[in-house]
Amino acid sequence: METLEQTRIEKLNRLREKGVDPYGAGYDHATPLKEVIDAYSEEEEGKKVKCAGRIMTMRRQGKASFLHLKDWTGKLQVYVKLNNVGEEKYEIFRLLDLGDIIGVEGGVFKTRTGEITVFADDFTVLSKALLPPPEKWHGLKDVEIRYRQRYIDLSSNDDVMGLFLKRSNIIKSIRNFLDKRNFVEVETPMMQSIPGGAVAKPFITHHNVLDMDLFLRIAPELYLKRLLVGGMERVYEINRNFRNEGLSTRHNPEFTMMELYQAYSDYNGMMELTESLVTGLAQDMYSKFEIPYGERSIDLSPPWKRCTFSDLLSKYASVDLDDEEGLKAKGKELGIEVEDVHKDVIAEHIFGELVEKELWDPTFVIDYPVSICPLTKSCEDNPHLAQRFELYIATMELANSYSELNEPLEQSKRFREQVADEDTEGKIDEDFLKALKYGMPPAGGLGIGIDRLVMVLTNSTSIRDVILFPLLRQQS
């Protein structure tokens, strides 16, 4: 056992010998530290308060000591004096270390240097830390350790704590925005017998009692659309999705998605909703539309650009969506597999390689090839294009939206074309097709990646920075 830990265990035992529970009971009605500071006034000098927090710094000066407590609202100085707490209590105080959590009661005053301070009448040991915090509480510098030991990262880094509190507030604001538009929040299954609603490789699990394989959901889409059939006209879910794919600064296999469906709307209505939601969040956080991101800034000023998939492909990749040979040649040039691959799939890969990196300020990319959008209505003026948009900000896809296909026979045809070379059993959600036959209203659907949205709104360039516990490789 390391010497530092052993020393702290010895202090732990000495606390117990003195009749102190080193992992004390609850400490109800403690005032958040920031509230103590904000409530101070000279007229109420000496007002008694009760607060709690983790010891960040400590300066012992014989019979008196100063320390700083920290909770998730802020930091507060505490003055502990032998003559005030008594000799027996001060001996207990001498057994405390950085990282210990204590409760304090006493009067509030301002020091000669102007710092709001609690003059302790009493304190309570609430949790004895057996490991020391990062040196001088400057926080963890090793990024890998920060992600693996998020508990230390949060406690020692105010910016990290602030970021995750912002994330919570962003999600709360999204709910408030949708509530005002009369959406209803719902929950749909996370374990599904057929993975559907998106094209992705699923995680597989097994239910022992039913003796059947299940899939962690890759998207909630088909269940949410069932609710449209049932008459729930505005529904949304903030959900966890699971895709058995790669790790990167923009991808985590387990991620948070907000997905919604609005009856009698379409992808144009979803563009308005998306733009209003994101610009509103930016205004709440920054009071302006231009926000920092990495070494650049993003201009979120509405209205946002709308560009067709084919126009952007032509502009940045110099290929035509209808030119199959040209697409294959460009694909080969980029090292993309083109043999026995549909030209629209090749175009999608070329778009990812050459176009996405050019899309910095908000851009709605609209009207994708219908062959890669099996759940989407076709454009009225061109049946080969789908009423779909993807929103790009800072070269990342943040949102995906359709004018939802509600024609059961056409939906069945597209599903079967998708799996034309496979056994369809277990591949197609036949119950969803049955639901469509009962009649689903025309609707707009929208999915927004919450993690990536938080990245943009908090100036975080890695998705791991906005997920409390990102998936990491096992340590060897």
Pairing of strands 184-185, 443-449: unpaired
H-helix segments, 21-75? 33-39
390 annotated to bind ligand: yes
Phi and psi, residue 12, nearest 5° = -60, -45
DSSP string, 410-451: HHHHHHHHHTTTS--TTTS-HHHHHHHHT----EEEEEEEHH
Q: How far apart are CA 49 and CA 104, in angstroms?
A: 8
DSSP string, 151-169: HHHHHH-HHHHHHHHHHHH
Pairing of strands 48-61, 64-71: antiparallel
Task: Return the residue matching tokens 């699990």.
Answer: 205
The tokens describing 444, both together, are 């707009």
> Residue 149 corresponds to which amino acid?
Q
135 annotated to bind ligand: no
Q: Element (H or E) spanning 185, and its range?
A: strand 184-185
Contacts of 243 (CB under 8 A, 6+ apart): 198, 200, 201, 202, 203, 218, 253, 255
- Contact between 391 and 362 under an 8 Å Cβ cutoff? The reply is yes
User: How does DSSP classify residue 356?
Assistant: G
Phi and psi, residue 123, nearest 5° = -145, 160
User: How does DSSP classify residue 371?
Assistant: G
- Contact between 179 and 157 under an 8 Å Cβ cutoff? The reply is no
Annotation: binding site: 390, 397
Annotated binding site for Mg(2+): 390, 397
